[in-house]
Structure 1
Amino acid sequence: MRTMKLAPSVFGAGIGNLSQQLKILEENNVELLHVDVMDGHFVEKMAFGPDHIKMLKELTTIPLDVHLMIEKPERKLDTIIDAGADIITIHQESTTRLYSCIEKIKSRGVKAGVVLSPATNEDTLKYVLDKIDMILLMTINPGEAGPGFHEELLTKIKNVRELIGDRDIDLEVDGGIDNTNIAKCKEAGVNVFVSGGYVFKGDIAEKIKTLREALK
């Protein structure tokens, strides 16, 4: 069984007391810090970039799980890697150069992954399975707040877990994850869970504890 990992999304954190919040995450042995990079083109919002990743790298020892929601990520990979990303996931829909993007990331000693938006067919993953370390499945449209977790996508998660088979690939999910649905995602095959608003609203330590208890 793969290790269960929590990946709180820094997009949901309070910038004013970010250092304190990151310290709480460290004290609670959070495995990854999820960092959304948005360009205002691939998605409407703009958020974070290489300078922010570099700042986060200096503030925390938690590995940075960087999710690129940008057009033509091949143009930004070197700067994102240089900033300190430990894992980089890129959208299947954002580039026609997926192979070369993955190869560039891996050649720099960084883990590489592919992201699928909700409506993207999982069969497209068949051609990259032996090249990647992570698959991220979105349960809401990238960059959108959305109505919350869509349970119909649990079937897609199960299909992807079957595609992975015994390969050493983490399966991550992002979009409305909280204590009411995290166990369903685990049962479907997920082992990395992104949660932003749920973790950072209220008592962070208690929220992490609640998620871990839901996973047992």
Structure 2
Amino acid sequence: MPFDRSLKIAPSILSADFADFGREIAAVEAQGADWIHVDVMDGHFVPNLTFGPPLVKAIRKHITTVMDVHLMIAPVDPYIDAFADAGADILTAHVEAGPHIHRTLQAIRGAGMKAGVALNPGTPAAAVEPLLELIDLVCVMTVNPGFGGQSFIGACVTKVADLRSMIGDRPVHIEIDGGVDPKTAPLVAAAGADVLVAGSAVFRGGSVGDPAPYGANIRAIRESVRAG
């Protein structure tokens, strides 16, 4: 995974057909997805329950791009090796999920994965500053984590700009997760984000039998950023 700051669209499979993940992933990659975003929720750290390492391992063979796994769970550390074994390329933990985020990030890298840290909407950018030498990605939640389809929290754009200034020339991605669509994508891209997670905004209107809308939706997000 050579580092670059070009815009990347990472469809969240939380909005895909759960009964057909393999073909959904193949379809959305063929339609222009750069990464595949996998949201893992535990019903404890966030008010929803999705899936764990066995499902992540099962879909790994269908992903030809980058598997970007976002853990919305607490605790994180007991599961790091399982997600490494499942094939995650990037593993992101929330700074709010435990008291020893340094240890968590070190363990993620020690298991052979890129390390990401996520910030809830109410967590300031300053929480990342002591972690900059340990991370490959910072995920800015622009909705409260737990459910897809929520409205974008505009106040988070300032946080993105603060992080971009703080990161400087370090090889650290800024990822946006929540409410990304052609209206909000230009705002966060202009502030410094380079990875945009989109669920319903990508999968809306399409299916594995008719994947063309996936491509149209991805292009609409890219074009909105160029125009913006």
1:14 aligned to 2:24? no
Shift of 1:146: 6.7
Q: Map 1:167-182 to 2 at 5 A.
A: 167-182=170-185
Shift of 1:23: 1.8
Which secondary structure state, in structure 1, belongs to the residue aligned with residue 123 of structure 2? coil
Which secondary structure state, in structure 2, belongs to the residue aligned with residue 42 of structure 1? coil
Partner of 2:154: 151
CA RMSD between the two structures: 1.3
Task: Give the count of matched residue pairs.
Answer: 216
Q: Equivalents in 2 of 1:79, 1:5: separation in Å?
A: 26
1:207 aligned to 2:212? no
Match of 1:124 among 122, 127, 130: 127
Contact 2:150/2:178 (<8 A) preserved: no
1:198 aligned to 2:216? no
Which secondary structure state, in structure 2, belongs to the residue aligned with residue 36 of structure 1? strand
CA distance change for structure 1 residues 19 and 145 in 2, over 3 Å: closer, same or farther?
closer
Q: Equivalents in 2 of 1:195, 1:92: separation in Å?
A: 22
Partner of 2:210: none
Q: Deviations over 1:43-91 (max 9, x none)?
A: 1100121011111102221211000000110111110111110000100
Contact 1:170/1:191 (<8 A) preserved: yes
Partner of 2:72: 69
- One-letter amino acid of the counterpart of residue 9, structure 1: S
Per the normalisation by structure 2, the TM-score is 0.91
Match of 1:184 among 173, 183, 187: 187
Contact 2:32/2:218 (<8 A) preserved: no
Which secondary structure state, in structure 2, belongs to the residue aligned with residue 151 of structure 1? coil
Per the normalisation by structure 1, the TM-score is 0.96
1:53 aligned to 2:56? yes
Q: Which structure 2 segments of 5+ residues have no match?
A: 206-212
- One-letter amino acid of the counterpart of residue 195, structure 1: A
Q: Equivalents in 1 of 2:179, 2:117: separation in Å?
A: 19
Q: Deviations over 1:4-62 (max 9, x none)?
A: 11110000101233333222222134211000111110011001210111111022212
- One-letter amino acid of the counterpart of residue 199, structure 1: V
Shift of 1:141: 0.7
Which secondary structure state, in structure 1, belongs to the residue aligned with residue 69 of structure 2? strand
Contact 1:140/1:146 (<8 A) preserved: no
- Tell me the percent identity: 37
Q: Which runs of 4+ in 1 moved over 3 A?
A: 144-147
